[in-house]
Amino acid sequence: MRIVLIGFGTVGQSFVKLIDEGEDYLRNRYGLEFELVAVSDIIKGSVMDPEGLDKAELLKLVTKTGSIKSYSQNDSGFDSVESIRKSDADVVVEVSWTNLETGEPGITHIREALSLGKHVVTSNKGPIALAYHELNSLAKEKGVQLRYECTVMSGTPAIILGSEGLAGNKVMGFRGVLNGTTNFILSRMEQGATYESALKEAQGFGYAEVDPSADVEGWDAVGKTVILANTLMGARLKPLDVKRQGITGITVRDIEESKKRGGALRLVAEAWTEGSKVEAKVSPKTVDSRDPLARLSGALNALTITTEGLGDVTIIGKGAGGVETGHGIISDLIAIKRLSGH
């Protein structure tokens, strides 16, 4: 499987490390070999080699210099869109930064790749939250797959649970903790840390967005809520349709208050059906201590999907981090191989 990687930050680098170190396992277990033919990052540079780039060398270079511009066989001087056009790849892995207002540059990358008949795997929430229906129609028209497992709960399989595992069961709504950074901050504050030091720690672990206000103001959870509502419930929500309140106003006293009431304070994302409409909200709430959401510590996420046929189904797992997201990308690539015979 020939891959173009767009974005070489925390997620991109973790993914490359995983396919490099897991080469034998992926070949023996899944008959899958990855050839990384191009990497393009707006800051770190762009490199291409139709014979396959040396993954270990790229990782060494970026760790040492913060750039890949001095890669030994550098065919450079092109940008991300040209990387998609020029490289003879089967799949574009799009892990550039998330913009929940415009979806760019991710939408352009994904549209370009699908138009050229290439499969797309993305962890980028902007394009899926803002343009899922358009991009999915384009993928269908071109006979390729658009996969976005790690846009919600990173590598924890929330999307595939709802779309494939629960196929045939009408999704009536869902409720979850979908942002790792804020859950990490709230649980560290429960243990006595300050908001500022907990946020710094979350950034250090690679959980937070490039601009962490996207996490603490609730926008990241809004993006994931929109993705789940639009892909599992057939809604057509935009981020501004979701009522939103983040955790910036939360104090240690609020957290203690929730504890006293026998629960825990969590940033809860929820969607429900009202007549023929889907409504959604992200806000801090005290959840009962028997609720699976109350027991989440650190960057753990949880999602309870309410279905007509099965009632509630809950999945819990890690929701953020480079390695965790890298695993989600690999699971999407394996699904592409399984469904399209690459």
Catalytic site positions:
224
Q: Is 12 in the site for ligand HSE (CB under 6 A)?
A: no
For the segment 159-198, give every residue that binds ligand HSE (CB under 6 A). Answer: 179-181
- Rounded Cα gap, residues 254 and 163, in angstroms: 36
Q: Minimum distance from CB of 323 to ligand HSE (Å)? A: 12
Q: Is there binding between residue 207 and ligand HSE (CB under 6 A)?
A: yes
Q: Which is closer to ligand HSE, CB of 118 or CB of 285? A: 285
Kindly state the smallest distance separating residue 11's Cβ from ligand HSE, in Å.
9
Q: Contacts from 85-88 at CB under 8 Å and sequence distance 24+?
A: 85/112, 85/116, 86/38, 86/48, 87/2, 87/4, 87/37, 87/38, 87/48, 87/50, 88/2, 88/37, 88/50
Nearer residue to ligand HSE within complex by CB, 36 or 214: 214
**Any contact of residue 112 with ligand HSE (CB under 6 A)?**
no
Contact map string, positions 217 to 246, toward ligand HSE, x by CB under 6 A = ---x--------------------------
Amino acid at site 107: I
- Whichever of 48 and 185 has its CB closer to ligand HSE, that residue is 185
Q: How far is the CB of 220 from ligand HSE (least distance, A)?
A: 5
What is the smallest separation between the CB atom of 110 and ligand HSE, expressed in angstroms? 17
Site track 302-331 with ligand HSE (rule: CB under 6 A), x = hit? -----------------xx-----------
Shortest distance (Å) from residue 322 CB to ligand HSE: 10
Which CB atom, from 154 or from 286, has the smaller least distance to ligand HSE? 154
Size of the site for ligand HSE (CB under 6 A): 11
Cβ-based nearer residue to ligand HSE, 132 or 207: 207
Check binding of 154 to ligand HSE (CB under 6 A). yes
Least gap, CB of 88 to ligand HSE (angstroms): 31
Our CB check for ligand HSE shows the closer of 45 and 322 to be 322
Chosen residue from 149, 209, 291, 332 binding ligand HSE by CB under 6 A: 209
Please report, as ranges, the residues that interact with ligand HSE according to CB under 6 A. Answer: 154, 179-181, 207-209, 215, 220, 319-320
